[in-house]
Amino acid sequence: MPVRIAMNKSVLIIDAPEENFSAERFVSLVVGSFPEMAFRVATQRDGSGPGVADAGAIFGFAQHFSEGMLTAAKSLKWIQTFTTGVDALLRLKSLRKEVIVTSLRGVHGPQMSELTFLHMLALCRNYPSLLDNQRNRVWERNAVPTLAGKTVVIFGVGAIASALARRCKAFDMTVVGISSSPRPVPDFDRMMARAELLQAAALADFFVVLAPLSPQTQGIIDAKVLGAMKSTAYLINVARGGVCNESDIIAAVRDKRIAGAGLDVFSTTPLPADSPLWNVPGILLTPHVGGLSTTYMEQTVPIVEKNLKCLAENRLGDLVNVIPH
């Protein structure tokens, strides 16, 4: 039977202008379907603002929740994150066990896939040098590799990986997945277990990291994995910075043990100005923009509306994308 948990209908939305996410605009997209809900916008994240204490649900980016907010939210029963990754939220000591956490797993496939392709194409075609030549008015033509016929190894097989794999097949690439629970997945030519990480890395022309950060994946992409890759291969991390050892990546690229790396995520965000990553030839950096899109709020609506319907009917046991904690 569905689990029924009585809770009030007050929903607090954390504003996130730095993510190009307007809480007020988000409310305008969903409020018409849920007139019984009382939506409020939170511009403060320390728990001191109005509406926190009586909020039955709080929606926000996982990294924007704070100990103060969770402590002040005495009526909280449900958190809906606007992210796929929730590690920043789960680290908070004030997150009570009885609070249900749901994510937006599945909505980031298009933009994350396209950013991965940006990195793959920019790296293998040495696009930074083309930009340098344009600035310097240099006309230089060179033959470049194609993605067709190359092997992409994807570490972490979830909804985003499936979206990426489908697009890679359109480029005539061979797709290999690495999963802690290998199983047949459409658009993957081969699935390998996490225990076969080194063997899989050796197959890659592009090794794409999409695994969530966990105690099991912390620093797992290290010198040993990079050493197993071909000298012509590229590493691309669009998952979590902590999954990769940044010092080992720098050393591998500088020593030409791999051809280069594309990084959208880092152990510290924003990336400090004194980070050595900024100045390594062969490393392409983007400022954690993988999940962003101009239509992101519209992308969130189907999952959020489905979960809000469960809330309206007191069926919290039917929420989708529930995260154990």
Q: Which two tokens stand for residue 71?
A: 């402590």
For a pLDDT cut of 70, what percent of the chain falls above it? Answer: 98
pLDDT score recorded for residue 314: 80
CB 192 within 8 A of CB 169: no
pLDDT at position 3 over 70: no
Where do you find CATH 3.40.50.720 in the chain? 10-106+293-318, 109-285
Q: Quick one: which of 10, 38, 26, 89 has its CA closest to 305? A: 26
The reported pLDDT for the residue numbered 71 is 97
120-229-117 Cα angle (round to 5)? 10
- The whole-model pTM stands at 0.88
Distance, CA of 222 to chain centre? 20
Produce one character per residue of 193-230: b if its CB has 16 or more CB atoms within 10 Å, e if not: ebeebeebbbbbbbbbbbbbbeeebeebbeeebbebbb
CATH 3.40.1390.10 describes domain 10-106+293-318: no
Q: What pLDDT shows up at residue 7?
A: 67
Q: Which fold has domain 109-285?
A: Rossmann fold (3.40.50)
Q: Residue 123 pLDDT > 90, yes or no? A: yes
Specify the pLDDT at position 316.
75
pLDDT at 1: 41
pLDDT band of 311, cuts 50, 70, 90: confident
Q: What is the pLDDT of residues 229-245, one digit of tens each?
A: 999 999 999 999 999 99
Which residue in 85, 88, 5, 7 sits closest to 45, CA to CA? 88
pLDDT tens-digit readout, 22-58: 999 999 999 999 998 999 999 999 999 889 999 999 9
Q: Which two tokens stand for residue 11?
A: 């929903």
Least confident range of 62-66, 110-114, 122-126, 178-182 = 178-182
C-alpha–C-alpha distance, residues 136 and 132, integer Å: 6
Q: Please say whether the beta carbons of 23 and 16 come within 8 A.
A: yes
| Whole-angstrom distance, CA of residue 185 vs CA of residue 163 | 11
| DSSP state letters, 100-169 | EEE--TTS-HHHHHHHHHHHHHHHHTTHHHHHHHHHTT---------STT-EEEEES-SHHHHHHHHHHH
pLDDT-based confidence at 224, cuts 50/70/90? Answer: very high
Residue 217 pLDDT more than 80?
yes
Contact 260, 237 (CB under 8 A): no
Place of tokens 């890659």: 204
